[in-house]
C-alpha cells in the first residue's frame, strides 16, 4: 500500500528560522515562549529495529489530520516534526532528556494553562493525544473531535 499523502506531511511544518537561537534577544525568546509549541514525529520514519519498514505514529497522525482540517489555524502555534531517532535535541532543549517521547504540546502563556498540564519547573506540557486534540480546539479554534 502506498502512502503518498505522507510525502506532504514529511516536510517541516515551518522554517525553523522563527525559533529563537541561544543568542536571540530576550524579546524574541519571550515571544516564542508565549505561543504553544507542538512537537510531532515526522511521518514516514524508519525504526532500526525493523529494517526496510516505514512507520507513522498513530497519535501524531490523528493530530496531523486535525491540522490538515484547518490549515489556516496552524500559524497560531509552532509546529515541529522531528526525526524518530534519539536523542532528540529539540525535545531535550524544550523539556529535558527524560521527556523525549513524542507527541507533546508545550504550552505557551498566550492562553490560560489547563490544570491537568504536566510541569517541569515553570514549563507546562501535555502528552495525552486526546487531551492535545481537545486543547488544539480550546486554545486555537481547530475543529472539535466528535
Give the global pTM. 0.79
Residue 34 and residue 109 in contact, taking contact as beta carbons nearer than 8 Å = yes
C-alpha cell at 45: 520514519
pLDDT at 8 over 60: no
**In this structure, what are the phi and psi dihedrals at residue 136, rounded to the nearest 5 degrees?**
-65, -35
Binned at pLDDT 50, 70 and 90, residue 25 comes out as very low
For 102-131, the pLDDT digits (tens) are 999 999 999 999 999 999 998 999 999 999
Domain locations along the chain = 5-13+44-140
Eight-class DSSP state of 125: E
C-alpha cell at 5: 499523502
What's the rounded Cα separation, in Å, for the pair 132 and 52? 31
Query: Three-state SS across 30-83?
Result: HHHHHCCEEEEECCCECCCCCCCCCECCHHHHHHHHHHHHCHHHHHHCEEEEEC
For 30-44, the pLDDT digits (tens) are 445 689 999 999 999
Amino acid at each position: 500500500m502506498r502512502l503518498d499523502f505522507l510525502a506532504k506531511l514529511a516536510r517541516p511544518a515551518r522554517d525553523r528560522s522563527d525559533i529563537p537561537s541561544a543568542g536571540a534577544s530576550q524579546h524574541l525568546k519571550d515571544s516564542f515562549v508565549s505561543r504553544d509549541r507542538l512537537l510531532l514525529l515526522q511521518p514516514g520514519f524508519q525504526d532500526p529495529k525493523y529494517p526496510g519498514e516505514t512507520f507513522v505514529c498513530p497519535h501524531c497522525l490523528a493530530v496531523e489530520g486535525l491540522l490538515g482540517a484547518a490549515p489556516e489555524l496552524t500559524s497560531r502555534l509552532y509546529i515541529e516534526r522531528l526525526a524518530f531517532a534519539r536523542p532528540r535535541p529539540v525535545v531535550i532543549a524544550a523539556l529535558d532528556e527524560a521527556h523525549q517521547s513524542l507527541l507533546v504540546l508545550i504550552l505557551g502563556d498566550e492562553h490560560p494553562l489547563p490544570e491537568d498540564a504536566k510541569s517541569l519547573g515553570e514549563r507546562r506540557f501535555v502528552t495525552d493525544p486526546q487531551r492535545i486534540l481537545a486543547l488544539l480546539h480550546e486554545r486555537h479554534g481547530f475543529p472539535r473531535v466528535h
